[in-house]
Amino acid sequence: MSESVQTETITKPEKNAADNTSTAKKNSILRHRKIPSADLNNKSDELIAEKTDLLSGPSNGNNDMACSLSNETNENMDIGTMAQAEFQHVAAQARDLGRKMWNVCNFHNLPQWLQDNDFLHTGHRPPLNSFQACFQSIFRIHTETGNIWTHLLGCIAFFVMTLYFASRPEEELSFQDKLVFIIYFIGAITCMGFSFVFHTVHCHSETVGKFFSKLDYCGIAILIMGSFVPWLYYGFYCEPYSWILYLILIVALGMVAMVVALWDKFSDPGLRPLRAGVFTTFGLIGVIPALHYGAVEGFFSNFTLISLGWLLLMGFLYISGALLYALRVPERFFPGRCDLLFQSHQIFHVLVILAAFVHYHGITKMAEYRLSKGECEVRPAVV
């Protein structure tokens, strides 16, 4: 094609020389455009081939390049993983430091699930979100410090008493007598232990707080049931069918109280009077067997010989504590002044411990009186 263009340019007249020259330039430009186009196609094919080799696997000639790229990628991934791990470690340290460095806060700065008593204005723990931080907080001063330590010490005291009774020789106390006392001690340990743990961890989270509040209320029911066992046993020592019947009634009512305590709304601050009413009513059921015994044995002997007066004092302490708890006295009359000491819940805890020891003293006197009288004249066997 280029040779015919040149021949036509020589044989034509001079008047067409300018046109031919222009045509030659155009062809020259076209030729120059075709050459790089072919080169680009070749290079594109080479690049595609290289990429295909890299994707399909390194060939002998590209092993070094593939290994280099692989090593680079692995190094980048290692650096990224290390950076992420380091960041997580620093974040965890910051969270731990934050838990150790927490400060008490005002009532209105608490989340709603921690707002229980608006008469306590300051000294509240914030949400800690860590069981370790919660248990470490028992050595800090805040609104729950008194509640924690009162029942923690009470739990330890009754645990020691349990060990003491269990270790007494058979000559001093029979297995059956040990058992009724130990059942009562276990009830006290359960109640105070659940209470101590609840007041320690209820600031962990809303879910944890609700779960342990249910255990706390169930512990109260267990203490009431355990309290009935010794005095029913010794009060109706020669009438086993009577005390077994009353015990079945008490256990059934205790189970009902625990079912009510498992209701999610039962722990709401507004239902504080309901909670006090449920457990007070449950405890007052003991009036029925007391009246029964008084009618049979005489009310005077109940107070003088069997020390029923100690049991009445126990009931008075329990009811007084429940009323103070329900009415939130004294902080209701001194808002913001009982945040750390002398709040109603602390007084309630102290009265529960006093009542538990008073009950122990009363059932001890009952046991001494009954055992001093010797065996019953006619005592039917219990299968």
Annotated binding site for Zn(2+): 199, 345, 349
Residue whose structure tokens are 């044995």: 297
Of 227, 197, 195, the residue nearest 356 (C-alpha): 227
DSSP track, 160-186: HHHHHHHHS-TTTS-HHHHHHHHHHHH
Copy the structure tokens of residue 348: 């309630």
Helix (H, G, I), strand (E, B) or coil at 134: helix
Residues 6 or more apart whose Cβ sits within 8 Å of residue 363: 181, 184, 230, 231, 234
**Annotated binding-site ranges:** 199, 345, 349
Of 223, 214, 202, 194, the residue nearest 282 (C-alpha): 223
Contact 102, 133 (CB under 8 A): yes
Copy the structure tokens of residue 284: 């007052």
3-state helix/strand/coil string of 345-366? HHHHHHHHHHHHHHHHHHHHHH
Residues 6 or more apart whose Cβ sits within 8 Å of residue 31: 2
Copy the structure tokens of residue 68: 């280099």
Q: How does DSSP classify residue 269? A: G
**Beta partners for 124?**
105
Residues 6 or more apart whose Cβ sits within 8 Å of residue 220: 191, 257, 261, 279
Of 302, 383, 327, the residue nearest 119 (C-alpha): 327
Task: List C-alpha distances in Å: 30 to 5, 7, 24, 124, 276.
Answer: 14, 19, 10, 88, 103
